[in-house]
Amino acid sequence: MAPAVLIEDLQKRYGALEALKGVSFEVASGEIFGLLGPNGAGKTTTLRCLCTLATPDAGRIELSGISVLDQPKLARQKLGYVAQEVALDKVLTGRELLQLQAAIYHLPADSIKPQIDQAIALLSLEDWADKRTGTYSGGLKKRLDLAAGLLHQPDLLVLDEPTVGLDIESRVVVWDFLRQLRDSGTTILLTSHYLEEVDALADRVAIIDQGKVISSGTPSALKDRVGGDRVTLRIREFTSAEEAASAKSMLQAMPFVQEVIINSAQGNSLNLVVTPQSEALMMIQQALKAADLPTFGISQSRPSLDDVYLAATGKTLMDAEMAAASSRDLKAERKQNMR
């Protein structure tokens, strides 16, 4: 059986910016698949190409065996897309907005009311459906947006950052709903830069960075590939590059240390992958002390998806987010200065 989503060697350029550099992955029917990566990694561009909102320069996209590029109208009938930014008419009630959505999808007249009622019930919007959306909280707006994306009962629901900006309570509501939807047979493809969201929801995940998929698999398998526990070490609050390099050379010689990465974005802290053992921290501290190096802070934990990203790129997801934000600010400043 053809996968619910097949993307092969997807490429997209915006002028000098190469947004996608050969993205490939598959989504099986009836699973939640997560695209994890920092802002600017290419997640939204990938979804826009899948949803026929952008045309790739090269590559192949299929929905259940249907070519999205050759049969875009048929592909649109099979998917629901919920964008990152919620766009609602503040004057309309939630029910009126869903009626408008039903008209846009050309739903049969006799199915409109039952499908709207079902969508409202699924998202627990009964108490708000007949109130103007301008009175909705952020969480309610997102739930209504999800209802609109589901109204035509698509085989695939595509979500771009479904809980960005929501409080914890609203995020949990959305998470529970998505799990119920998956269990009922709907395939879900979502993007996120929230590590805990992808870890909690996704059956499988692809980590994307700078327009390329750098790792993919189940969250547990990806974390197992890291190969051991993670130790985060700070020699000083702000360690010099020379001192960090010296410590790295010394630590790499220890038999239970598998990998050492210097994180320059976090004051030249050191991130180690070690064979799990109870005495690892004590042995590292003893080695540092013998080399006349202090220990400002040290911790040991099981691998996370952030460790998978760190192992693949040499930086944490937070570092990548900060670098992307800094780059955007710099570009905006340059643009302002040119005016």
- CB neighbour class for 292 (10 Å; exposed up to 12, middle 13-18, buried from 19): exposed
User: Is 327 within a domain?
Assistant: no
Whether residue 165 is found in the same domain as residue 297: no
- Alpha-carbon dihedral of residues 37, 41, 47, 52, nearest 10 degrees? 180
Whether residue 36 is found in the same domain as residue 145: yes
Cα distance between residue 304 and residue 105, in whole Å: 41
Whether residue 291 is found in the same domain as residue 191: no
pLDDT of residue 166: 82
Whether residue 65 is found in the same domain as residue 148: yes
Q: Which of 42, 325, 83, 306 lies closest to 194, judged by CA? A: 306
Whether residue 127 is found in the same domain as residue 258: no
User: Is 320 within a domain?
Assistant: no
Whether residue 133 is found in the same domain as residue 256: no
Reading the block at residue 290, the tokens are 């013998």
DSSP secondary structure, 14-56, as one string: ETTEEEEEEEEEEE-TT-EEEEE--TTSSHHHHHHHHTTSS--
User: Is 323 within a domain?
Assistant: no
284 CB-near residues (< 8 Å, 6+ apart): 231, 233, 251, 254, 272, 298
CATH number of the domain at 271, please.
3.30.70.100
Q: What residues make up the domain containing 119?
A: 5-218
If residue 206 lies in a helix (H) or strand (E), which one and from where to where? strand 204-209
pLDDT of residue 103: 93
pLDDT of residue 320: 78
Whether residue 213 is found in the same domain as residue 232: no
User: Is 334 within a domain?
Assistant: no
Whether residue 285 is found in the same domain as residue 138: no
The tally of domains found in the chain comes to: 2
User: Is 317 within a domain?
Assistant: no
Whether residue 85 is found in the same domain as residue 61: yes
Helix (H) and strand (E) counts for the chain?
A: 12, 14
Name the domain boundary from 193, 218, 243.
218
Instruction: Determine if the pTM surpasses 0.85.
Output: no
Q: Which residues pair with 273 in a beta bridge?
A: 230, 259
pLDDT of residue 93: 96
Name the domain boundary from 198, 218, 238.
218
pLDDT of residue 308: 86
If residue 279 lies in a helix (H) or strand (E), which one and from where to where? none
User: Is 319 within a domain?
Assistant: no
Whether residue 131 is found in the same domain as residue 9: yes
Q: Which of 4, 26, 34 lies closest to 189, judged by CA? A: 34
User: Is 285 within a domain?
Assistant: yes
Whether residue 191 is found in the same domain as residue 95: yes
User: Is 192 within a domain?
Assistant: yes
Q: Which of 313, 304, 327, 331 lies closest to 212, judged by CA? A: 313
CATH number of the domain at 11, please.
3.40.50.300
Residue ranges of the chain whose pLDDT lies below 70: 324-339
In Å, how far from its chain's centre is CA 107?
32
Whether residue 37 is found in the same domain as residue 69: yes
